Amino acid sequence: MHFRSKAKNATNFRFHVNNSPLELDSDYKCLGILFNEYLDFSKTAELLASAAGHALGRLINKVKCNKDLGYNTFTTLFDSCVMPILLYAIGIWGQGKFKCCENVILCYFACMPVLYRSAQIDPHSWHTGGLWMVRF
C-alpha cells in the first residue's frame, strides 16, 4: 500500500519479494480500521458508527422489552456494549467531522424520553450518571 495525498500520483516503482512483484492495494483493514491509500478515515468512521448504532439499537430494544430495567442497569449495559465501540473509534472521529458518528450520540439522547416512559427511569438521574463520559 502506498499512502499519499490525493494530489500525488501513485508510485511507478514496483516492489518485489523473492523476485515476485507485489500488487498495490487501495485499502487495507487491520483491527477494524480501514486504511486507504489517501488515509481518509470516512469509511472507517461509517463502519464503527454503524457498529455502535447497532449496539445501541439492541440496547434500546432490551429496555423496551424489559420494562423493569432501571437506570443503573441501562448504564451498565451501555458502558459494556456501546461505550467500547465509541472509545475504540474516538481516535478516528477526532481526525475530522463525521456526521455518522454524531448521529450515534444524537440517537442516544433522542432515545432517553422513550426510556423514561418504558422503563420508568427517573428523568433527573440520567444527566448525573455515566452519560457524560462520552466527550466529543
Q: Contact at 8 Å (CB) between 36 and 26?
A: yes
How many angstroms separate the CA atoms of 90 and 26, rounded?
A: 24
How many angstroms separate the CA atoms of 39 and 54, rounded?
A: 26
How many angstroms separate the CA atoms of 36 and 40, rounded?
A: 6
Q: Based on the domain organization, do 122 and 57 belong to the same domain?
A: yes
pLDDT at residue 107 in the model = 80
Domain count, the chain: 2
Q: Based on the domain organization, do 77 and 113 belong to the same domain?
A: yes
Q: Cell numbers at residue 81, please?
A: 456494549
Task: For strands 20-21 and 16-17, give the pairing.
Answer: antiparallel
Q: What is the pLDDT of residues 108-134, one digit of tens each?
A: 777 766 565 554 545 455 444 444 333
CA-CA-CA-CA dihedral for 4, 5, 8, 14, to nearest 10: 10
Reduced to 3 states, what is the DSSP secondary structure of residue 68? coil
Q: Based on the domain organization, do 3 and 56 belong to the same domain?
A: no
Q: What is the pLDDT of residues 8-40, one digit of tens each?
A: 887 788 888 999 998 878 888 888 888 888 888
Q: What is the pLDDT of residues 45-76, one digit of tens each?
A: 888 889 988 998 898 888 778 877 777 787 78
pLDDT at residue 130 in the model = 43
Angle in degrees, CA 69, 79, 72, rounded to 5: 30
Q: What is the extent of the structural domain holding 29?
A: 1-39
